[in-house]
Structure 1
Amino acid sequence: MNTAFAAEKTAQAEAAREQERAFQARVDRGEIRMVAADRYEILTGWDRGETFTLSRNAEGQIEQIIAAHGLGDRADGTAALYASSPAWHGLGQIIPQGTTDIDEVLRLSGLDFEVITVPALYEWQGQMREHADQQHTVRADTGAALGAVGSRYTPIQNRAGFVFLQELVSRYDVVWESAGLLRGGKRVFISIRLPETVAVDADGINDIVVPYIAVMNDHSGNGQFQCVVTPWRPVCANTERFAVRDAVTRWAVRHTAGATSQIKEARRTLGLSARYFEQFAAEETALARTDIAIADFHQVIADLWPLEEDASKRKRTNHAARLDAITDVYRTESGRVGHTAYAAERAITGYLDHLTPRRPPQSMTEEIARATALLEGADDEIKSKAHRRLLQLRTR
């Protein structure tokens, strides 16, 4: 018995040491870095920019990875997220390769609730009165208040988002990529992956960009029902916004009766056509075949973020820090695809998606605020400006 006990403890100790060695190897390879005591940031892959915390036991050994995901919770306490592949935090309900079943995704993602409106009441001199021009949105399953809205507001149900995407792409066998809720259901998101992929410089670097369509619905009264095309590179999950002939890649509608029936208008606005993606690939390929000097790259950055001559010391410090951060990303990208305008665009996009400072509201972590900014297109304008500016380098 003593021999067996000693062997078991030896095996446990070795397993713990192996886990520590594997973790340290990731640090040494530059995949993750420590940002505080037992808090780490992911530097590579799909989840670049996300953070997590290590929980250790009394002996100082790694016991658990605690994700800073910021997602809402389902009734059973699990993260309100469905995905077709595991996320970095290991949370959520994962179905490998995804599913086409709307009901299953609604259940797994925590979106299986309806939103109703109730009168907006207030107390006056001991009596309850109704505010005729206002109402509240409420979760029908829990009674949780989501927001205050006008009298003409009509909730767009979570299921309607799924049906809208099916009708948008004229397919009813679409595989759902991800779905989940934020802020207790005040905001929800759904995404599908389009079957087309875009090969940039197919005869050269052959970089693959995957188009996704995401729906974001707001039940709080502070946002519209939105649909956006979000191409991204699987190698690092950079979300792109391209200015192909100034094509608009976002469509939004207010919460009114019949809002999601405007499929034709949504298709036209989003530019969902083979021609769009062909032109898309052509412009990116042109960037991939345009050499760029570091001085030209820095000039593009200066054009995007101009610094006034009388700028304060703080602004100058922030400007220099931004330049250093983007240049670091450019070194990585240029090592993979060459010193090209394409690498420059990847660097600018990578900085905006993963490194630019975000100030999250109280209900969000920085990570989820960053993800929300990606979907909502907080940096669309500057990404499109960078794209157009870099395309000008071809004609010099």
Structure 2
Amino acid sequence: MAHQVEQMAFVGRTPWHGLGNKLAEKQPLEVWMTQAGLDWSIHETPVRFMSGNKGHLGEILSFDDHKVLYRSDTHDPLSVVSQRYQVVQPREIMEFYRDLTEKSGFELETAGSLKGGRKIWALARTGQSGVIKGNDRTDAYVLLATACDGTLATTAQFTSVRVVCNNTLAVALNGQSQCVKVSHRSVFDAEAVKKKMGISVSAWDDFMYSLKTLSERKVKQSEAEKFIRSLFQPRPDQVEQKANERAMGKVRALFDGEGRGAHLPSSCGTAYGLLNAVTEFVDHERRARSDDHRLDSAWFGQGASLKQQALSKALALAA
């Protein structure tokens, strides 16, 4: 099946999803835009349709309440949206990082598009990191993404990557994801978003303290089993029970030693190990039509939701 990824670029080691064109570090945004396949614009035009019976040319009419969005380079249609819809251009996603990379020490790590350009993102490493016992390091990132097909508001969020396994997890504090969402009914203001995010050391330090707390909470096998079942089979009559049993079996195996970094002191038999078993399952092991479908789910869809549920349940276990 064809990939959802239109094109993307990355620096450093190959991303966990295994996709993209490798760049040298410290490239200007203009190079990023070209290599990530984001050097195009979203254009719009009124919706037109033809009236009349089949086989006969009818009158060309307009649907004034809606407009068609399409790519400037290929002219491929992207979506039909209301006239109130505010477009966020690929260039705006990249420009969000200009002052962060030029003045604040951020480094772009990956950028690209999914579904033929309907979803666009860029991810930058902030330079912050944290280490818990066993030299288990997690790095901080800021992800900015938007969509023009109604599936995603323009979203800026803190996210983390555990280095030993490349597992990704949105940063959350007190059960709340550290993100800012801008509806497509509003104009995207990059500076206002950055101010609202409060790109600061304190949010990251609090998140790392939570991970440290999880790494110190030992769990019994019965607790691990209850944790896994609460995520994948909250109701005994749940549909797709066999698929859920397979998923639970894989997460158990990852927790019991098959997972990357599962034998580190931070993870072995701990609530942090349970969380990492779920994030590794979502990012690397969960069944998907392709790697890019898995990426879409892990960052923006059901996979991202499952990881946040796992984080909340793990923190509750450690409370």
TM-score, normalised with respect to structure 2: 0.85
Higher Rg of the two aligned structures: 1
Give secondary structure in 2 for the equivalent of 1:385: helix
CA distance in structure 2 between the aligned counterparts of 1:169 and 1:115, rounded to whole angstroms: 25
Deviation at 1:257, TM superposition (A): 6.0
Deviation at 1:271, TM superposition (A): 5.4
Deviation at 1:144, TM superposition (A): 1.6
List structure 1 runs of 4+ shifted beyond 6 angstroms: 88-91
CA distance in structure 2 between the aligned counterparts of 1:375 and 1:307, rounded to whole angstroms: 23
Q: Counterparts in 2 of 1:107-256, with a 5 A limit? A: 107-125=34-52, 126-166=58-98, 171=103, 174-199=106-131, 201=132, 204-256=133-185
- Please, which of 280, 290, 314 is the counterpart of residue 350 of structure 1? 280
Q: Counterparts in 2 of 1:20-39, with a 5 A limit? A: none
Q: 1:225 to 1:391 in 2, by over 3 A?
A: closer
Greater shift in the superposed pair: 221-230 or 321-330: 221-230
CA distance in structure 2 between the aligned counterparts of 1:141 and 1:322, rounded to whole angstroms: 41
Deviation at 1:112, TM superposition (A): 0.5
Overall identity of the aligned pairs, in %: 20
Give secondary structure in 2 for the equivalent of 1:162: helix
CA distance in structure 1 between the aligned counterparts of 2:157 and 2:250, rounded to whole angstroms: 28
Give secondary structure in 1 for the equivalent of 2:127: coil
Residue correspondences, number? 308
Report the counterpart of residue 94 of structure 1 in structure 2.
22
Please report the RMSD computed on the Cα atoms of aligned residues, expressed in angstroms.
2.8
Q: Tell whether 2:31 aligns with 1:104.
A: yes
TM-score, normalised with respect to structure 1: 0.69
Check the 8 A contact 1:71/1:181 in 2, yes or no. yes
Deviation at 1:381, TM superposition (A): 4.2
One-letter amino acid of the counterpart of residue 336, structure 1: L
Check the 8 A contact 2:67/2:82 in 1, yes or no. yes
Check the 8 A contact 1:83/1:98 in 2, yes or no. no
CA distance in structure 2 between the aligned counterparts of 1:104 and 1:110, rounded to whole angstroms: 10
Deviation at 1:172, TM superposition (A): 6.7
CA distance in structure 2 between the aligned counterparts of 1:299 and 1:226, rounded to whole angstroms: 33
Q: 1:108 to 1:265 in 2, by over 3 A?
A: closer
Check the 8 A contact 1:82/1:94 in 2, yes or no. yes
Report the counterpart of residue 329 of structure 1 in structure 2.
254
Gap runs ≥5 in structure 2? 53-57
Gap runs ≥5 in structure 1? 1-66, 73-79, 359-364
One-letter amino acid of the counterpart of residue 22, structure 2: I
Report the counterpart of residue 55 of structure 2 in structure 1.
none
